[in-house]
Chain A
Amino acid sequence: MELIELFLASILSNNVALIFILGMCSLIAVSTSIKNSVNMGVAVMFVVTTTAMINWPIYELLKATGTEQLALLVFIIVIAAFVQFLEMFLAKYAPKVYDAFGIFLPLITVNCIVLAISLFFQQRDYNFIQTTVFAFGSSVGWALAIIMLAGVRQKMYRVSNIPRGLRGRAIAFLILGILALAFFGFSGIGRVTF
């Protein structure tokens, strides 16, 4: 039950994109079409969950040897190496998947949420199962946010007359602000203290 609460809380009431404001660069850049957003969301879900699962045992190892200060450095190297490996693996063995997700992979390395999830589980002292659930839930929440934003943006360009100064990326902030306000309605789901 606690895990279900954590899962729901990390998707809705503690959405990484709309409440913690993470991963904005790629959120704004990719959300011009729904198709790209879905692909990016799936890629982020996979990378975030896997890297959190790799980083957890590594952090335990660092704690055991008393070198926690290096956590940041180790995490980012693990993430960069994992993404690089994934890119090469997909290019060789699954070219079709690579065509769909390949261009998003380098973007993911510098996406804050991948590193943020690793830093959050470190701060909040999660065990392995909690970390996995939290990482998966958070990335689902991020994917939800990017798909919703892309849906609104795509329609908006077709039908509405946006003021000149707001065209392009500025209007995306406004949409995100309204979405974030809407997500306050979920606050209360999951008594998880963050």
Chain B
Amino acid sequence: MDNLQTQIKKPSRWLRLQYKKWFIIFKNGISEENPIIVSVLGICSALAVTNRVENAIVMGIGVIFVIMASSTLVSLLRNLIPSKVRMVAYMVIIAMFTIVVQLFLLAFLPLVAANLGAYTGLIITNCIVMGRAEAFAIKNPVRYTVIDGLANGLGYTLVLVAIAAVREPLAFGTFLGMPIPGFENWINWNVMALAPGGFFILTLLAWLMRSLTKKYEET
């Protein structure tokens, strides 16, 4: 009995953490409302750039930066933006940060920039960035917005890397550009490097995740 009393008085540190607002936001972004698997947003870039792990990582970092920066700015300006022109305001803000990413890649990682092609520019129309600005940043203070942006960006990046980690070995027999032991005589499976491979792997991943989390979509 005595033991029980102390347990009620002092919940464990982990339990307390689980009820902190920032932790809930973080968990939602990565797993509960994962932008790709659960909300099915930002699919275009998720499929187009995931034929190599390297591209997926660079794209993920770019998107994390754009989400965090633009959500923070939208959140700072949330009382100044009139609701009628908010869409255009988001677009200008997101476009600005996307140009920063694009020029940065051109200057420091020209090879990856060439691989990604037009898809870096298409971060602007990535529904996740716009969606976070509209659904979260416009209504919440800056400190939560930063966490939300980071969590959603990480959720997106994790799925991208997971897809790429399956596609690259199957398509080229390499991982991060390095040959994998045992895959020396691998014959390139071209379909995996192209669109259909992306679609199939994403389907399988979504099926797996939905079966594991027991969250189904009824139509």
Contact partners of A164 in chain B: CB under 8 A: 210, 216
Q: Which residues of chain B in 76-122 are interfacial with respect to chain A, using CB atoms and an 8 Å cutoff? A: 87-88, 91-92, 95-96, 98-99, 102-103, 117-118, 121-122
Docked pose: A109 CA to B91 CA in angstroms: 10
A77–B47 touching, CB < 8 Å = no
Name A73's contact: one of B96, B130, B195 (CB within 8 Å). B96
CB-defined interface of B179-219 with A at 8 Å, one 1/0 digit per residue?
00000000000010011111110110011101100001111
Q: Which residues of B contact A70 (CB under 8 A)?
A: 99
B95 touches A76 (CB 8 A): yes
Q: Determine whether the beta carbon of A21 is less than 8 Å from that of B210.
A: no
Give the residues from 159 to 180 in chain A that come closer than 8 angstroms, CB to CB, to chain B.
Answer: 163-171, 173-174, 176-178, 180
**CA distance in complex: A167, B210 (Å):** 10
Are A119 and B118 within 8 A (Cβ)? Answer: yes
Cα separation A128 to B96 with both chains bound (whole Å): 27
- Which of A35-43, A46-54, A110-118, A130-138 lies at the binding interface? A110-118
A120 at the interface (CB under 8 A from B): yes
Across-interface contacts of A170 in B (CB, < 8 A):
203, 206-207, 210, 217
Complex CA distance for A173 and B163, rounded to whole angstroms: 14
Chain A interface: which size bin? Answer: 35 or more
Q: A73-B96, A177-B199, A181-B191 are in contact. Are A168 and B217 (CB under 8 A)?
A: yes
Asked if B61 is an interface residue, CB under 8 A from chain A, the answer is no
**Chain B residue contacts of A8, Cβ below 8 A:** none
Within 8 A of B (CB), among A137-194: 157, 163-171, 173-174, 176-178, 180-181, 184
A62 contacts partner chain B, Cβ-Cβ < 8 Å: no
Q: Which of B104-146 contact A (CB under 8 A)?
A: 117-118, 121-122, 124-127, 130
Chain A binder among B5-13, B36-44, B166-174: B36-44
B44 touches A21 (CB 8 A): yes
In contact, A28 and B203 (Cβ under 8 angstroms): no
Contact assessment for B122 and A19 in the assembled complex, using a CB-CB cutoff below 8 Å: no
Q: Is B48 part of the binding interface, using a Cβ–Cβ cutoff of 8 Å?
A: yes
Contacting residues, chain B, for A114 (C-beta < 8 A): 125
Q: Which of A77, A163, A165, A177 contacts B88 (CB 8 A)?
A: A77
Count of A-B residue pairs with CB < 8 Å: 136
Known: A165-B216, A168-B219, A180-B196. A72 touches B121 (CB 8 A): yes
Give Cα A120 to B48, complex, Å. Answer: 15
Of A84, A123, A177, which is within 8 A of B203 by CB? A177
Instruction: Please classify the interface of chain A as helix (H, G, I), strand (E, B), loop, or mixed, using the class held by over half of its residues.
Output: helix
Q: Is there a chain B Cβ closer than 8 Å to A23's Cβ?
A: yes
B94 to chain A, nearest CB (A): 8
Among B121, B122, B202, B207, the one with the most A-chain Cβ atoms within 10 Å of its Cβ is B121
Q: Is A65 an interface residue (CB 8 A)?
A: no
Residues of A within 8 A of B47 (CB): 21, 24
In the complex the two chains form, is A173's CB within 8 Å of B195's CB? no
Q: Could you list which residues of chain B lie within 8 angstroms of chain A, going by C-beta atoms? A: 40-44, 47-48, 87-88, 91-92, 95-96, 98-99, 102-103, 117-118, 121-122, 124-127, 130, 191, 194-200, 202-203, 206-208, 210-211, 216-219
Instruction: Taking A69-B99, A76-B91 as given, write out 8 further A-B residue pairs in contact, using a Cβ cutoff of 8 Å, ordered by the A residue number.
Output: A77-B91, A80-B88, A109-B91, A110-B125, A173-B206, A174-B199, A177-B200, A184-B194
